[in-house]
Structure 1
Amino acid sequence: MAAAQDPDDELLGRIAQGDPAAVRALMGRKLTRINGLAVRMLGDAAEAEDVTQEVFLRAWRQAPKWTPGAARFDTWLHRVALNLCYDRLRRRREIPTEAPPEQTDEGPAPDRGLEAADVGGRVAAAMARLPDRQREAIVLCHYQELGNIEAAGLMGVSVEALESLLSRGRRALRLALADMR
């Protein structure tokens, strides 16, 4: 039985030929998910936007060299995004800062959504305290909605190892957020 063709292969071929409509179509399909992955991994929207731009720049550069059927483009794109996120996380550890940068609140007005913002902030903080591999597993499976097999493949671990990471990550999140029940 022949493997199903990756729906992105045709777009990549058109991108390689310089078709701007194909670039827009690919961005329309993938931008939100890749940016969401970067935001959840990095916890910083501006930094995630930089990562997302770099991911798509690499995809554009890779398009002429892409071999259809060799790998799933979506898997490759996620792996590039995760690698760029880890590069940035490593750099953060290497450069200590005295105070966090001031950030503007682009959320709802102060009189609306305070509880939702508090819950979201608490979850984001709890996610940030997880070990990198547990956070990656949770982001891929719960936020990116990848199946265990695909997530394990992206992470380069067995499905059993992924499930262990998920279990430990969920347990740590339950403990960190226990008072919210």
Structure 2
Amino acid sequence: MVPDPGPPDKDQLFAEVTSGCTGLISRIAMSHEADPALRLELVQDILLAVWVALPSFRGDASLRTFVASIAQKRCVTHVARRAREPRQVELPPDLISAAQLPDEVAIGNDFKEKLAETIKKLPDPQREAIVLCFEGFSYGEVGEVLGISTNAAMLRCQRAKQSLKALMDPVPKVSQA
């Protein structure tokens, strides 16, 4: 009889998070923070929060759901904290950056870039739900992460999809002659 190895330790779980969930974390952070430097800090903050929370992971939900829940809550806290900070002076638009961040290079595709910008225009509840939906979470998992019912999660995702379609493919206005 083979002895039960027991639950994975914190280091093993964190290795799973860093190998399988960093894209998820980055995209959730991107949906809440536009500034690349602050987004990088937010991702690091989320990873630290995941590390601290890993001992409480019981396996009731998938590790991705656990990480997404932490990331979502950390992003909401980040946005609330940033809202209380004094506004910064905006840099001129013709200022050239020395280098692009890897996630910005990956979003070089025009459609993805437009989609990312359009998602930011959605109301917070719709944005939170659709980001998780695009990550492949079921409506039940979206509801679990956001603390709402499955039906409410489905409704938010459907409304977000309708809003995205309307914003990305506006119907041209016909001039009356």
Partner of 1:3: none
* 1:79 partnered with 2:69: yes
Structure 2 length as normaliser, TM-score? 0.71
Which one of the candidate residues 41, 50, 57 is aligned to 1:50? 41
Helix, strand or coil at the partner of 2:87: coil
Helix, strand or coil at the partner of 1:157: coil
Partner of 1:158: 149
Q: CA deviation at 1:23?
A: 4.2
* 1:94 partnered with 2:102: no
Helix, strand or coil at the partner of 2:31: helix
Output the CA distance in 1 between the equivalents of 2:88 and 2:120: 19
Matches within 5 A, 1:22-171: 23-63=14-54, 65-66=55-56, 68-95=58-85, 97=87, 99-101=89-91, 104=97, 106=100, 116-117=109-110, 119-142=111-134, 144-171=135-162
Q: CA deviation at 1:125?
A: 2.7
Helix, strand or coil at the partner of 1:42: coil
Q: CA deviation at 1:44?
A: 3.6
- Residues 92-111 of structure 1 show CA distances to partners (whole Å, capped at 9, x for unaligned) of 33346365456737266xxx
User: Where is the helix percentage greater, Structure 1 or Structure 2?
Assistant: 1
Partner of 2:4: none
Output the CA distance in 2 between the equivalents of 1:70 and 1:166: 24
Partners of 1:41 and 1:139 within 8 A in 2: no
Partners of 1:38 and 1:85 within 8 A in 2: yes
Helix, strand or coil at the partner of 2:128: helix
Percent of aligned pairs sharing the same letter: 22
Q: 1:91 to 1:152 in 2, by over 3 A?
A: same
Q: CA deviation at 1:138?
A: 0.6
Equivalent AA in structure 1 for residue 125 of structure 2 = R
Partners of 2:143 and 2:150 within 8 A in 1: yes
Structure 1 length as normaliser, TM-score? 0.70
Output the CA distance in 1 between the equivalents of 2:133 and 2:57: 27
Q: Tell me the number of residue pairs that the alignment of Structure 1 and Structure 2 aligns.
A: 157
- Residues 35-83 of structure 1 show CA distances to partners (whole Å, capped at 9, x for unaligned) of 22211232343323222212222232334x3353455443222111111
